[in-house]
Amino acid sequence: MTDTAVHRIGRWALARIVRLGHATAFLHVLLVRSWRLPSRPGPAAAKAARLVVHQLFSVGVLTLAIILVSGIFVGMVLGLQGYNTLVDFGSEASLGLLVALSLTRELGPVVTALLFAGRAGSALTAEIGLMKATEQLAGMEMMAVNPMTRVIAPRFVAGLISLPLLAAMFTVIGIYGGYVVGVIQLGVDAGVYWSQMQDRVDFYDDVVNGLIKGVVFGFVVSWIAVFEGYDSVPTSAGVASATTRTVVSASLAVLGLDFIMTALMMGGS
Amino acid sequence: MLNNRLIEFWVGVFVIAGLVALTMLAFRVSNLTAMETVDGYKVTARFNNVGQLKVKAPITLAGVRIGRVSEIVFDSDKYQAVVTLEIDGRFRKIPRDSSASILTAGLLGEQYVGLEAGADEEFLRQGDSLMLTQSALVLEKLIGQLVANLASSSGKK
Amino acid sequence: MNSPSTPDRDVLVDIRDVHFARAGRPVLQGMRLSVARGRITVILGGSGCGKTTLLNLIGGRLRPDRGEILVDGQSVPSLGTRALYELRKRMALLFQSGALFTDLTVFENVAFPIREHTRLPESLLRKVVLMKLETVGLRGARDLMPAELSGGMARRVALARAIALDPMMVMYDEPFTGLDPISMGVIAQLIRNLNRALGITSVVVTHDVAEAMTIADHVYLIGDGRVIAEGGPQAMQASSEEHVRQFLDGLPDGPVRFHYPAADYVDDLRHPGSRA
């Protein structure tokens, strides 16, 4: 049988489509299970809440440090670069505006999502993949406990909640980073830094749209992470490649979706 | 592994910090508060040309921001722009004969409405209209005038 | 063999003419066997002959391509998710790896199914867990993490967890593999005690002939996806059938070939290009 490039491309495309189908079917079950988490009878709902809280810790709290440190540095770089560009036009008064707009619209949600994919997404995939490889998920099933409800859905929900909150923190700390460089170091007036920002950053067009991006990225990154873990080949090599795939595909998905959403938001306003 | 109470504590800190950040984005970074002028009142002003003035542009009096442009409509009878100015309730004592002009912040900056206080004993109230207005300066017209002035002055020599 | 219309009260698991293929490769081809209630049934077979698949079919984690699987009179492949989960609460599967939750202590591992399925108050739950751990002799190890346990101890903890809800049946997947002789003896002892004392029906899948023969009430020898021979342990030991002899005596060549099926040896060496 000859194996031409066309055959190979066709086979590759078919494999992608099949995998996308699996991921979609998985998402359906995942959403149903996540939706039912809070609506379970009394004590079960409390138990589900506790599971989500535990995952918020490992997904959200443990990602906090990298988000805050990155946020302050990104803000400082924006302050420095922005000042040097604006000062040529004599409009360094707009520094606060530039920093705030860049962060709320783009850098806040996007950089947070990329860091989140690397820090929390990969950990989610590896953890679920290892649970599968060591038969913990199968063991749970045989104990009549649905791993989708017990393991996967709480992690997904925690990711969904964490990312927008992290993005908001990233944005705020970044604005203070810009403040440190622009106001304290380079001498832009503090009042001007804030007033220009408040005048021109729109709550709906900039802040809410940024928040929507955060929610969408949280959804996509968490979905990819738990799917790759659940679908991984249960060997050490399989878990390793699933972890890599999570970071790569989640990052690409974030950047692609960011473009689409930005186009839609700009067009809509 | 950390115990439950510590995890719950840190998750609490995390969620509160996230909400604080969101609140700051709403009230410190963006214009959510500035948009909702508390207890404000609206007056209108007619301009022959509003230039680049946009809704939500600031209104200042003696350089202090006292409100926002809430609406710009075209009056097809008089071929004028009717600008609705929403002034914050804290600034009640503005004379009725104050004038409004459309000014530009800096060389390339955004346009805003600058009020200049008059001398009337009466103060502006909801629904009043400003009589004295000065339209936006259009750069092309200015240059045109300048060139004409230069030409005429050099012609006199 | 029972007819489908009259399920035998003494038969807990009945597997009738089951076919199953994975990725086009047949694993089970016309498997028939039955597990007697309250007895220890041992399923012997070489590595990769479908023993684990069989347990997964009984547990409802896989569906057969053809055939019927009855557990306590219920047809497992046709059960809905809810009914299947109800059935699973009454049967346990002991995984070869133990499948303990690595982030929970020994105590919490054993408590897990109880917490999930019952609403016992904490004081009562503690008593139940300690009783189960005492059964496997690991009450003192309750605060250890799974990573701190030896292979034999991990399997005993897994066994304590498997019997936490007092199931009617426990299935053991290769319970003797990778253990030292003492641990092996301990596990064999536990399987026998649980069966004798609590009347738990036991299905033991293994390739370890010596241990299997000491605990079995009934033995099935499977190969090529079907039952090759069956009988009591003594009858099997005395059998002169060549499959049985090869397996029990561990002969390298016999009806089960030493060579994996391949092209002719000389041809293969002459054509360096083909890798198949």
A265 has pLDDT over 50:
yes
Structural domain span for residue A159 = 5-266
Q: Name the DSSP class of C139.
A: G
Q: Which of B4, B10, B14 to mutate to test the interface with A (most CBs of A within 10 A)?
A: B14
How far off is chain B from A25, nearest CA to CA, in Å? 31
At A268 the pLDDT is: 52
At C144 the pLDDT is: 92
Query: Nearest CA to A115 among A161, A181, A59, A75?
Result: A59
Of A43, A136, A145, nearest to C99 by CB-CB distance is: A136
| Cross-strand partners of B129 | B44
Phi, psi for C6 (deg, rounded to 5): -120, 85
Cβ within 8 Å of residue A233, ≥6 positions away: A239, A241, A242
At B3, which amino acid appears?
N
Task: Provide the CB-side half-sphere exposure for C169 (13 A, CA).
Answer: 22
Checking ipTM against 0.95, whether it exceeds it is: no
Q: Which of A97-106, B35-44, B112-121, C205-214 has the lowest mean pLDDT?
A: B35-44
At A226 the pLDDT is: 95
At B109 the pLDDT is: 67
At C229 the pLDDT is: 84
At C66 the pLDDT is: 87
At A79 the pLDDT is: 94
Distance of alpha carbon C203 from alpha carbon C167, whole angstroms: 13
At C164, which amino acid appears?
A
Quick one: what percent of chain C has pLDDT higher than 70?
A: 92
C47 has pLDDT over 60:
yes
Q: What is the pLDDT of residues C21-38, one digit of tens each?
A: 887 788 888 888 889 888
DSSP helix/strand/coil, C61: coil
| Cross-strand partners of B139 | none
Number of domains in chain A: 1
**Do residue C93 and residue A139 have CB atoms under 8 angstroms apart?**
yes
List all chains that touch chain A, counting a touch as 3 or more CB pairs closer than 8 Å: B, C
Chain B residue with minimum CA distance to A57? B11
Q: What is the pLDDT of residues C244-260, one digit of tens each?
A: 888 877 777 776 666 77
Chain B residue with minimum CA distance to A201? B30
Of A164, A169, A199, nearest to B58 by CB-CB distance is: A199
A212 has pLDDT over 80:
yes
A48 within 8 A of A41, measured Cβ to Cβ: no
Say whether residue B54 is in contact with chain A using an 8 A CB cutoff: no
- Answering whether pTM is above 0.95, one says no
Task: For B76-137, give the DSSP string.
Answer: TTTTEEEEEEEE-TT----BTT-EEEEEESTTT--EEEEEE----SSB--TT-EE-EEEPPP
**CB neighbour burial string for C30-50, b if at least 16 within 10 angstroms, e if fewer:** ebebbbeebbbbbbbbeeebb
Task: For chain A, give the DSSP string.
Answer: ----HHHHHHHHHHHHHHHHHHHHHHHHHHHHHHHHSTTS-HHHHHHHHHHHHHHHIIIIIHHHHHHHHHHHHHHHHHHHHHHHHHGGGT-GGGHHHHHHHIIIIIIHHHHHHHHHIIIIIHHHHHHHHHHHHTTHHHHHHHTT--HIIIIIHHHHHHHHHHHHHHHHHHHHHHHHHHHIIIIIIT---HHHHHHHHHHH--IIIIIIHHHHHHHHHHHHHHHHHHHHHHTS-SSHHHHHHHHHHHHHHHHHHHHHHHHHHHHHHHHH-
Distances (CA, A) of B106 to B33, B66, B112, B146, C258: 25, 19, 11, 20, 91
Query: Nearest CA to B86 among B37, B50, B45, B53?
Result: B37
| Torsion, CA A76, CA A82, CA A84, CA A90, rounded to 10 | -140
| Mean pLDDT calculated for residue range A170-180 | 95
| Cross-strand partners of B86 | B42, B68
Model confidence band, residue C4 (pLDDT cutoffs 50, 70, 90): very low
| Mean pLDDT calculated for residue range A74-103 | 91
Distance of alpha carbon A134 from alpha carbon B71, whole angstroms: 65
Average pLDDT in chain B: 82
At B124 the pLDDT is: 85
Query: Nearest CA to A68 among A100, A125, A121, A111?
Result: A111
At A71 the pLDDT is: 96
Phi, psi for B66 (deg, rounded to 5): -120, -5
Model confidence band, residue A124 (pLDDT cutoffs 50, 70, 90): very high
Q: Which of A8-22, A60-74, B42-56, C114-128 has the lowest mean pLDDT?
A: B42-56
Quick one: what percent of chain A has pLDDT higher than 70?
A: 99
A228 within 8 A of A248, measured Cβ to Cβ: no
Give the pairing of strands B129-130 and B41-47: parallel
At A43 the pLDDT is: 73
Indicate if the alpha-carbon torsion angle C27, C31, C37, C42 is positive or negative. negative
Say whether residue A206 is in contact with chain B using an 8 A CB cutoff: yes
B130 within 8 A of B97, measured Cβ to Cβ: no
A176 has pLDDT over 90:
yes
Q: Provide the chain A residues 76-115 that lie in CB contact (below 8 A) with chain B.
A: 89-91, 93, 100, 104
CB pairs under 8 A between A and C: 47
C85 within 8 A of C59, measured Cβ to Cβ: no
More confident residue, A38 or A237: A237
Q: What is the pLDDT of residues C54-75, one digit of tens each?
A: 888 998 888 888 889 999 888 8
More confident residue, C129 or C212: C129
Of A56, A91, A175, nearest to B14 by CB-CB distance is: A56
User: Quick one: tokens of A52?
Assistant: 């989500």
**CB neighbour burial string for C92-126, b if at least 16 within 10 angstroms, e if fewer:** bbbbbbbbbbeeebbbbbbbbbbbbeeeeeeeebe
Distance of alpha carbon A261 from alpha carbon C98, whole angstroms: 47
At A68 the pLDDT is: 95
A157 has pLDDT over 60:
yes
How far off is chain B from A48, nearest CA to CA, in Å? 14
Q: What is the pLDDT of residues A125-153, one digit of tens each?
A: 999 999 999 989 999 988 988 899 889 99
Average pLDDT in chain A: 91
DSSP helix/strand/coil, C260: coil
At B36 the pLDDT is: 57
At B62 the pLDDT is: 84
Task: Provide the CB-side half-sphere exposure for A79 (13 A, CA).
Answer: 24
Chain A residue with minimum CA distance to B5? A54
> What's the residue count for chain C?
276
Query: Nearest CA to A228 among A160, A158, A156, A145?
Result: A156
C40 within 8 A of C216, measured Cβ to Cβ: yes
